[in-house]
Amino acid sequence: MSEQKQVLEIEEVVVRFSGDSGDGMQLTGTLFSDASALFGNSVSTFPDYPSEIRAPQGTIGGVSGFQVNIGSAKVNTPGDYCDVLVAMNPAALRANAKWVKAGGMIIVDSDTVNEKGLQRAGFKTDNPVEELKLQDYKVIFAPITTLTKESLKDSGLDNKSIVRSKNMFTLGMVYYIFSRPLNFTEKYFEIKFKKKPEIIEANKKVLRDGFNYAGNIHAIANTYHIPAATSIPKGKYRNINGNTATAWGLIAASEKSGLPLFCGSYPITPATEILIELAKRKDLGVKTLQVEDEIAGICTAIGASYAGNFAVTSTSGPGLSLKSEAMGLATITELPLVIVDVQRGGPSTGLPTKTEQSDLFQVLFGRNGECPMIVVAASTPSNCFDYAFYSGKLAMEHMTPVVLLTDGYIANGTEPWKIPSMKDFPAINPPIVPEGTEGYMPYARDEKRLARRWAFPGKKGIEHRVGGLEKDFIKGSVSHDPINHQKMTDIRAEKVKRVQEFIPQQEVIGDKEGDLLVIGWGGTYGHLLTAVQEMRKKGKKVSLCHFNYINPLPKNVHDIFGRYKKIIVCELNMGQFANYLRMNFQEFNYLQFNKVQGLPFTVVELVDKFNKVLEGK
């Protein structure tokens, strides 16, 4: 029997699950996060997986990881370093040991620590602890594979299925360490394997056996309790990742506009889940076309937009490159369209599964001709919903394409989300031309937005032609007139600029003036916020100005920048937003903090950098 162990209460803990890409670490991490969220903790997750579906077993290249930060106060990042690392094999240990806090706990499946396993992971000796200098860490070698086999020997499952269940044994162990209730996960098994009672029972048993095993071993001296968060607003919650939130935000815009949602797309990491989610939503009337290539994705969407659907296309950087010409077509035909770019490491194929913010210049400038476009960037997994919704609203009401930027980090990251109500979202009123309108002029505009009106084929009396050739500024017939081209170019630019009148003012977190203004945009929000809050707790005069509206920028930006002694622009690229700000507001001096490692910032490195800037180093 286990002796009485001490339960320690802690505010925040970071756990990292890692193993071979076939070991089911993404599922294990997700179940642990879900159970914690359902328990009432604040949660932020970060899956980190290789682009190979099954890289050679046991090698570093095949290691898949999932990190989760659980707190009793609001957590904004998945955490830089973990308190507990689960390593299902030597490769996972070797790849992830550097992410464990000094003195942290590491659980290793000792059955995999053999000559073959160590050799494949690139160890030179038979002592990984010494080789990785982990002597001061709490490394627990548990024979997880053996114990799983023992646990399920009477289950009737075949050997392969039994061995595959070792992730649930491990999950049971982690549940014990963090005093998590098992019922949420048991319920998951019941729903997931509804028609296979033997699988439900096997999973429940192995989970409980892992839980009990952890309770019985001396190596685990204490267990931890992370109380439910009390500071988070009351209400009904769910977990959401950025890609699902994006898909749902687009459906929400379709519902508010009364126009059917059409998505033309082509699978590409890490954007594919948007198409997958929309394909499921035929129950809400969504039409998805998985077409022959990226170009067809956007071109079918443009056709659908012309015909009166709310049309979108989803992609990542390389796909966006292919869509460039058609983005120009949507601009010159002045049709509503949302182009979602889930950014990943580039150039070319680059780092398909890793995050980066390096498509900014491409979406701002990467087209032939003078081709201004609205650019919006989401900054958390859940606000992908809001920015997808508002991208749709801007596209339809201003009759122009909009690029919505997210990135691999927020697209795959999850967080609990207070479920919004659709009645809290504004109406969307596109300027649709009624049937039988006399004297419809395709390029006549409203004065406020400069939007032309949207005339759907099939309606009597408004037959007209649009296309990629420059058009007469009223009638819409082809025009090569020099003055007309100048006029149309000016109008297309002014139309995008006027969006300033319809977006919120830029906000600043922290004091309205101070020593350092930290500037960021998009998916770096959580890390920048955490770093700035940490410094402010220590009395530093640091504020955060984080952008979601990129083009046009909000009207009050210039006022804000002038009130701080120093400005530093932090982004996961070589300085694209910093240069964009230099282009727009030349009078300020912009320091930069840039990183292109396919990884988010760490709070530690941000705080370190900001301190150095404050100290004038």
Residues 431-490 close enough to bind another protein by CB under 8 A: 456-469, 477-478
Residue 340 contacts residue 264 (beta carbons within 8 Å):
no
Q: Using the rule CB under 8 A, which residue among 43, 100, 326, 377 binds another protein?
A: 326
Report whether 263 contacts 286 (CB < 8 A): yes
Beta-bridge mates of residue 46: 67
Q: 252-271 mask for another protein (x: CB under 8 A)?
A: x--x----x-x-x-------
Radius of gyration of the chain (CA): 27
Q: Largest Cα–Cα distance of the chain, in whole Å?
A: 90
Report d(CA 97, CA 123) in Å as an integer: 13
- Decide if residue 40 touches another protein (CB under 8 A): yes
Nearest approach, Cβ of residue 480 and another protein (Å): 12
Asked whether the beta carbons of 302 and 345 are under 8 A apart, the reply is no
Tokens read off for 67: 């990190």
| Window contacting another protein (CB under 8 A); options: 50-58, 419-427, 577-585, 589-597 | 419-427
CB of 54 to another protein, least distance (A): 29
Task: Report the SS3 class of residue 104.
Answer: strand
Q: Which is nearer to another protein, 91 or 455 (CB)?
A: 455
Please enumerate in sequence order all residues whose Cβ is within 8 A of that of 460, keeping only pairs 6 or more positions apart, or say none. Answer: 435, 436
- CB nearer to another protein: give 7 or 307: 307
Q: Does 274 bind another protein (CB under 8 A)?
A: no
For the CB of residue 19, give the shortest distance to another protein in the complex, in Å.
25
Name the minimum Å distance from CB 194 to another protein.
Answer: 15
Distance of closest approach, residue 260 Cβ to another protein, in angstroms: 7
Residues 104-117 as b/e (b if ≥16 CB within 10 A, e otherwise) read bbbbbbebbbeeeb
Judged by CB under 8 A, the residue of 420, 514, 554, 575 near another protein is 420
CB 521 within 8 A of CB 546: yes
Which residue number, 416 or 520, has a Cβ lying nearer to another protein? 416
Shortest approach of another protein to residue 521 CB, angstroms? 27
Segment 162 to 181, residues that bind another protein, using CB under 8 A? none
Q: Which of 463, 468, 473, 471 minimizes the C-alpha distance to 440?
A: 463
Q: Which helix (H) or strand (E) holds 384?
A: helix 383-398
The phi-psi region of residue 351 (left if phi > 0; otherwise alpha if psi is between -120 and 50; otherwise beta) is beta
| Listed ranges 107-115, 197-205, 251-259, 491-499: which one lies at the site for another protein (CB under 8 A) | 251-259
- Closest approach, Cβ 293 to another protein, in A, equals 6
Contact with another protein (CB under 8 A): which of 4, 135, 348, 421? 421
Closest separation in Å from C-beta 82 to another protein: 25
Of the pair 345, 392, the CB lying nearest another protein is at 392
Query: Taking contact as CB under 8 A, which single stretch among the options 150-158, 228-236, 501-509, 513-521 is the one that binds another protein?
Result: 228-236
Least distance (Å) between residue 237 CB and another protein: 5
Can you point out the beta strands (E) in 125-193?
138-142
For another protein, the closer of residues 297 and 346 by Cβ is 297
Spatial contact of 470 and 488, defined as CB atoms under 8 Å apart: yes
Residue 192 touches another protein, criterion: CB under 8 A = no
Q: Which of residues 281-310 bind another protein (CB under 8 A)?
A: 281-287, 289, 291-293, 295-296, 299-309
Task: Give the three-state DSSP class for 298.
Answer: helix
Residues 327-366 that bind another protein (CB under 8 A): 328-329, 333
3 state DSSP class of 328: helix
